[in-house]
Amino acid sequence: MQIIVTLASALTLTMAAAASHAPHWSYEGPEGPEHWGALSPEFAACRTGHTQSPIDHGSFEPKHAVAIATDYHAGPLTLLHNGHTVQANFAPGSTLTSGGHSYPLAQVHFHTPSEEAFNGKHYPMVAHFVHKDAEGHLAVLGIMFVEGAENPELAKLIEHAPKTSAPAQDVAGVTFNPAALLPPDLHVYRYTGSLTTPPCSEGVTWHVALKPVAASKAQIEAIHAIVGHNARPVQPLNGRQLAAD
Ligand SMILES: [Zn+2]
């Protein structure tokens, strides 16, 4: 009887460990981007995928035209830190329309420096607005940041952002407007890519804004202090074509 109990306990522990253990990954060392695809079978696309992100957008002439539009609205501020970035979750009601398809806005998160490159150059920071439609299709809008004037909307996020891993929490009494983080004249490159973090899932429709917005040096440093260096290196284009609006 004792043996059966022990085996059952061991099995329960093993199953619990398997269920709760998302493979660990990072941005440097043995769990860094070059090794993501080998860390877990779930991460295979990081190594074997042919339409991965990010890419260098600088040396490509867009081949097609596409119309995009955002309809973002202010709402409550909900923040989390997932161990890799700080993220604001959004209430339903904001959308990105791309090529006639509408994607509800789910969240925005940050990378320092920008993952996107332009002729080998990176911006000091990028915000990724992640949208997901009812079928689970993902569309991301990347907004680059340059050093300049303080960004009042970003200030709200920095003031309340968790500095280390923390589950989503509402920030009482603060309204956040994602539209305030967009350039006034939004033009993008669009291409088909992937998540830039494991599991590197493909089929993500990427939109990368051509014009940056400003944040102060202190604000960019504040985000960097929270998220660290969290940019995946650029990936081969493999014949993909860019569209632009
Ligand atoms: Zn991202």
Answer whether residue 76 is part of any domain: yes
Choice between 67 and 33, residue whose per-residue pLDDT is larger:
33
Answer whether residue 27 is part of any domain: no
Q: For residue 58, what pLDDT is reported?
A: 84
Q: Where residue 46 sits, what CATH number does that domain have?
A: 3.10.200.10
Answer whether residue 198 is part of any domain: yes
Answer whether residue 6 is part of any domain: no
66, two tokens: 């596409």
Identity of the amino acid at 158: I
Domain range for 205: 32-244
Q: Smallest Cα–Cα separation from 187: which of 202, 169, 209, 165?
A: 209
In angstroms, the Cα distances linking 211 to 146, 184, 192 are 10, 9, 20
Ligand 1 centre and the CA of 236: distance in Å? 18
Choice between 84 and 58, residue whose per-residue pLDDT is larger:
84
Q: Would the pTM of this model clear 0.85, i.e. be above it?
A: yes
Answer whether residue 142 is part of any domain: yes
Q: Catalytic annotation on 84?
A: yes
Answer whether residue 7 is part of any domain: no
Number of compact structural domains in the chain: 1
Answer whether residue 106 is part of any domain: yes
Q: For residue 62, what pLDDT is reported?
A: 80
Q: Which residues of 135-171 are buried (b: 16+ CB within 10 A; e: fewer)?
A: eeebbbbbbbbebeeebebbebbbebbbeeeeeeeeb
Answer whether residue 91 is part of any domain: yes
Other CB atoms within 10 A of residue 3 CB? 7
> 24, 35, 50, 84: which one is catalytic?
84
